[in-house]
Amino acid sequence: QVQLVESGGGLVQPGGSLRLSCTAAGYELDAYAVGWFRKVPGKGREGISSISKSAGRKYYADFVRGRFTISRDMATSVVYLEMNNLKPEDTAIYYCAARTTLPGQSTWWDEGQYDFWGQGTRVTVSS
């Protein structure tokens, strides 16, 4: 069972930035495609971005394109989500998820496509 660990959440003012990290305890995250999701109370988890094992393919939700960037560091086996120009509506618990191959363009955003999940890190955007 791959256990993912998110970090980097916190409180930030509107317009600010945060960088979230995702690692795999006891495993090499390089062996997995990784997605980032977020959840607000009363709603299901929504897909934000996803990256293939090689980092050759990346997907973004329309509501974060141009503000968020997904990347991975093969040397340290970490996947990042760089979040810029944060808005109050970005307030949520952010999760990373993994599976062995990247889902296609029509399904990468579907939480049911991913096999392993972290516990989440809270991001609050407020003045």
Question: What pLDDT digit, counting tens, does each position of 60-72 carry?
Answer: 999 999 999 999 9
List all residues 6 or more positions away from 56 whose beta carbon is below 8 Å from its beta carbon. none
| pLDDT higher than 90, residue 25 | no
In angstroms, the CA 74 to CA 79 distance is 9
The pLDDT of residue 9: 98
Asked if 81 and 48 count as a contact pair (C-beta separation under 8 A), the reply is yes
Over residues 94-114, the pLDDT tens digits come to 999 999 999 999 999 999 999
